[in-house]
Chains A and B, each alone.
Chain A
Amino acid sequence: MTKYILKRILYLFLTLFIIASLTFFLMKMLPGTPFSNQNRMSADQLKIVKAQYGLDQSVGVQYVRYMVGLLHGNLGTSFQFNNEPVTALIGQRLAPSMQIGAQAMIVGTVFGILLGAVAAIRKNTWVDTLATFISILGLSIPSFVLAVLLQFYLAYKWKIYPVALWDNFQSSILPTLALSALPLGTVARFMRTEMVDVMSSDYIELAKSKGNSSWRVVAKHALRNSLIPVVTIIGPMAVSVMTGSMVVENIFSIPGIGEQFVKSITTNDYPTIMGLTIFYSFLLIIVYLIVDILYGLIDPRIRLGNGGKE
């Protein structure tokens, strides 16, 4: 197991290197310059500014410089956002996005699993229909529509939660709910399909023939086996939810990272684009690694190590 994880970490760095290189060159192919007021600058001024950021060098030199900096953990300084170092920028903006994302994932996954399981157990009854209805709503209502609805009723009309604020846990509840609809709907759909399949399998029949009560059959045998494919979708979904939804962050005035990413691209803020891309990739790879380890924990057939015993 340790050997496997070390190998994966080696691959992680290799993948990051490739992603960083690709992004660097792709980014250089973007039209436009980082300087929005370029038209008002004289040729000399432009030259000075370019030299200041090292943009006067050839792309090859810039690439080597950036990669050397990256090796030292230096992501450069932003062209925007008061020329702050990119690491500091990400650091400040990351925490709120991650918190809300993680909360939304936990809420969405837990309730999604429950909803899917209940729907499967009560297959073809009104409970199933209701659960399917809820999960389709979760899948199809855009998070920003839900965000505005939650804001209108729970914050504006009934004044239970703040409208748009970022300070304590209370203020994170509405954005969490808005973002959790998608994972909830997705997980519930997957869970139901899988569990219906599992519930009709031979080992469930055997479990019933042992005298297990129906809830014990579900808890001890069906749930764990149904979770295997659900874990697969949780990984990538977690990344997309945790890295922030710009619109939802905007609606609730959350100083998150989603907004920053979009802004950095529209302004050709090279170091910030690079920094965020590398960071996102890192997160994605780590999540995949965790998913793979989780797989092994849930399904012994793909457990690693043990000298490859069948």
Chain B
Amino acid sequence: MDKILEVKDLHVDFDTYNGTVHAIRGVSFHLNAGETLAIVGESGSGKSITVRSILQLLASNATISKGEILYHGDDLLQKSEKEMNNIRGNKISMIFQDPMTSLDPTMTIGKQVAEPLLIHNNVSKKDAMKRAEEVLRLVGIPNPAARMKDYPHQFSGGQRQRIVIAIAIVDYPEILIADEPTTALDVTVQAEIIDLLRELQQKIGTAIIFITHDLGVVAGIADRVAVMYAGRFVEYGSVEDIFYNPQHPYTWGLLDSMPTLDTNEDARLNSIPGTPPNLLDPPKGDAFAPRNAYAMQIDEEQQPPFFKVSKNHFAATWLLHPDAPKVTPPAAILNRFKKFEQLGGNAK
């Protein structure tokens, strides 16, 4: 498979009044052409910052202090602002979280959708508008010809998210970054938007980086999943790997706190105790250790490297070290291991 994007050892710092926040602390991953990579993690784990670094759309107090972001082998971090503008909205585009505030309230949606074409392609306004209309039809806006001159406030939340998607795909980007595109929508609309993204991916063959804190959404769209915690990836692998053969205690915690069809309706949902660490002063060892029931001495002292679980599945936990004691994961996870074996995998 074609690696189109490779992020290597990304570090992002924020200057704040209280000091430097080390928001991203060494993130590496790659994206293959046409695939969907989901990045999951709780709020504040650095998912958004990671993807915004790719387009360099970070707040003014943020600095990418280390790392490389290779797009077809070219380091985006070395590019000038002008070169980046040629990539944004053209090769790599982004879908934002809140459709209610992401559209310019004083510009017709036709113009907003056509704008990337006018910036990047040498097309006439008329052609751009015609194309915008096609794309609006593609994303499921009924009667787009009549609605081109309407303003965002004349559309519902779900429709606005479709328009935001139309803007992102109008120039057939190679990579589509979707930053929690369904979080602000109600559940039925969420499903429609996920279906739409999948359908569009089939049609235009774009790769998607999908950010969410909702594991249920991930199962429906992703090929591969990366789990993020406190500015680092803790585990990544295929959807099956992450859902049915999770190895990191944090992934266990996430999966265990998700209700399934087997969940007893009288039982309380499990949650991970404690709060994420303060990234003003990141812990020396595994950032998850204080909340981790399986933590060992070494977790406090040294950050675990990634251990290979299977060909494409890696997890950063000392539990995978050959010398580590054998632990028994929570019952819900053991059930998942069983399913993994039924699927033909070889769970640990």
Contact = CB atoms under 8 A, between A and B. Distances in A.
Answer yes or no: are A and B bound together in one complex: yes
B222 interface: no
B237 interface: no
B119 interface: yes
Interface string B326-345: 00000000000000000000
Interface in B151-173: 151, 153-154, 164, 167
A209 B51 CA distance: 12
Contacts of B94: 206, 209
Q: How large is the interface on A (under 10, 10 to 19, 20 to 34, 35 or more residues)?
A: 20 to 34
B119 A211 contact: yes
B115 interface: yes
A201 B102 CA distance: 8
B14 to A, nearest CB: 15
Interface stretch (B17-25, B85-93, B239-247, B282-290): B85-93
A200 to B, nearest CB: 9
Contact of A211 (B85, B96, B102): B85
Contact of A206 (B81, B106, B154, B164): B164
B216 interface: no
A301 B57 contact: no
Given A212-B115, A300-B105, A206 B86 contact: no
Contact of A202 (B88, B101, B106, B167): B101
Interface residues of B, number: 30
Contact of A300 (B86, B98, B153): B153
Nearest to B111: A220
Given A209-B93, A210-B116, A211-B89, A298 B106 contact: yes
A224 B57 CA distance: 22
B90 A211 contact: yes
A299 to B, nearest CB: 6
Contacts, number: 78
Contacts of A309: 154
Contacts of A206: 94, 96, 102-104, 164, 167
A201 B167 CA distance: 17
B166 to A, nearest CB: 12
Interface in B126-157: 151, 153-154
B104 A203 contact: yes
A216 B90 CA distance: 16
Given A205-B57, A206-B96, A210-B115, A301 B85 contact: no
A65 interface: no
Interface of B: 55, 57, 81-82, 85-90, 93-94, 96, 98, 101-107, 115-116, 119-120, 151, 153-154, 164, 167
Q: Which 3 A-B pairs have the closest CB atoms?
A: A210-B89, A211-B89, A211-B88
10 contacts: A203-B102, A205-B57, A206-B167, A209-B88, A210-B89, A211-B90, A220-B107, A225-B104, A300-B105, A310-B154
Interface of A: 201-203, 205-214, 216, 220-221, 224-225, 298-301, 309-310
